[in-house]
């Protein structure tokens, strides 16, 4: 699998995986317990908090461990932020090579705050619940690695992005959403006029390449990005967009394979190509549908059925093998 959806989540860094394996096995104490195992857990938790604070340029007392970005956002979404300076910020580990389920909330000293989760006195009574020590340590590990390697990563991503965009220069109907100089160095959002992102996503998935059509926060639903619509793009443009996001393990070979397969599928789905296909496969003598056109329509019918059934059960996967069998070339008799 070539994974190019790092803005949705990232694979664990090898060193983070080892940290989790060690701590989940050995450091099981409750940080609130007074005996040695609990004190050891407390030391590890506070050490992680201090490491993160130093990297962020914040005070340790301004950081609260949470279960992720969504929890942190809900903690502060009803507060009025001061116009000068940053009073609140949320972070999550799984976008940086860390595990899912651990986040961080920054609250500037003196800023108003009311706890969302109450009960125990953990996190200075600002977020109740037993802290996950192993996950907090893994967060500090991945964030430290990212900060140390950020410059090298960004340079590599920019080089790979340029290589990819150069390979698409000859592709018709391709357009860039946003500007490359104002986007994140690891991210590209592309559109292909007249071609739905859903069609390209399915084809690339069958090729073993994972990209996205936008945020993964919509339970797998492939809808037009509200962000692109707010930026002024049309519904058709937003529906045709592919988001490609690189990560710590993205290689030049990954980008080359993406380019090769994407160009192949875009040309296959391009309007002139489809028009030519329909013209010939419908039969030049007016004798009805050819086997190829019937096969094409059968394939579309199957995909539409799969999508409807998947949405009913909130399972947005599809049967790749059935699709492959459906799109297999028609065999002619003698």
How many residues does this entry show for the chain? 334
- Work out the average pLDDT over 185-203: 90
pLDDT tops 80 at residue 81: no
The percentage of residues in the chain with a pLDDT greater than 90, rounded to a whole number, is: 59
Mark which of 95, 124, 147 sits at the end of a domain. 147
pTM above 0.85, yes or no: no
- Output the six-digit token pair for 37: 């195992």
Q: What phi and psi values does residue 66 have, to the nearest 5 degrees?
A: -130, -175
Q: Is 217 a catalytic residue?
A: yes
Judge contact between 260 and 208, C-beta under 8 A: no
pLDDT of residue 331: 35
**Residue 4 within any structural domain of the chain:** no
From the candidates 217, 287, 299, 326, give the one annotated as an active-site residue. 217
State the total domains in the chain.
2
Instruction: Out of 131, 147, 163, pick the residue that ends a domain.
Output: 147
Tell me whether residue 95 is in a domain. Answer: yes
What is the reported pLDDT for 285? 42
pLDDT of residue 241: 86
Sign of the alpha-carbon torsion through 191, 237, 177, 215: negative
Residue 292 lies in a domain: yes
The reply to whether 135 falls in a domain is yes
In a domain, 236, yes or no: no
Last residue of a domain, one of 123, 147, 171: 147
How many Å apart are CA 172 and CA 115, to the nearest integer?
A: 53
pLDDT level of residue 306 (50, 70, 90 thresholds): low
- Residue 131 in any domain: the answer is yes
How many angstroms separate the Cα of 255 from the Cα of each of 41, 73, 231, 246, 251? Answer: 42, 34, 27, 9, 7
Please report, for the domain that includes residue 140, its CATH number: 3.40.640.10
What percentage of the chain carries pLDDT values higher than 70?
A: 76
Is the residue at 171 inside a domain? no
110 found inside a domain: yes
Domain that holds residue 94: 11-147
């Amino acid at each position: 699998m070539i994974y190019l959806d790092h803005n949705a989540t990232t694979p664990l860094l090898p060193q983070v995986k080892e940290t989790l394996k060690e701590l989940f096995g050995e450091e099981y104490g409750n940080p609130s317990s007074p005996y040695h195992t609990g004190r050891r857990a407390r030391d590890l938790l506070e050490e992680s908090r201090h490491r993160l604070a130093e990297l962020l340029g914040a005070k340790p007392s301004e950081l609260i461990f949470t279960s992720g970005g969504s929890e942190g956002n809900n903690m502060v979404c009803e507060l009025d932020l001061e116009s000068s300076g940053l009073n609140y910020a949320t972070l999550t580990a799984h976008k940086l090579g860390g595990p899912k389920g651990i986040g961080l909330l920054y609250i500037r000293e003196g800023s108003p705050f009311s706890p969302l989760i109450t009960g125990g006195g953990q996190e200075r009574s600002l977020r109740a619940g037993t802290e996950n020590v192993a996950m907090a340590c893994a967060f500090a590990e991945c964030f430290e690695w990212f900060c140390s390697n950020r410059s090298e990563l960004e340079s590599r991503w920019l080089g790979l992005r340029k290589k990819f965009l150069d390979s698409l220069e000859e592709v018709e109907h391709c357009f860039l959403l946003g500007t490359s100089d104002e986007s994140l160095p690891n991210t590209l959002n592309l559109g292909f006029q007249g071609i739905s992102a859903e069609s390209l996503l399915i084809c690339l998935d069958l090729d073993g390449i994972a990209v996205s059509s936008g945020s993964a926060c919509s339970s797998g639903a492939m809808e037009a990005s509200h962000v692109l619509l707010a930026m002024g793009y049309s519904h058709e443009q937003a529906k045709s967009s592919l988001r490609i996001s690189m990560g710590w393990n993205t290689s030049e070979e990954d980008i080359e394979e993406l380019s090769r397969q994407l160009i192949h599928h875009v040309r296959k789905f391009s309007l002139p190509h489809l028009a030519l296909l329909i013209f010939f496969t419908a039969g030049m003598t007016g004798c009805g549908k050819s086997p190829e056109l019937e096969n094409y329509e059968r394939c579309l019918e199957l995909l539409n059925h799969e999508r409807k059934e998947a949405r009913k059960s909130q399972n947005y996967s599809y049967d790749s093998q059935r699709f492959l069998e459906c799109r297999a070339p028609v065999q002619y008799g003698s």
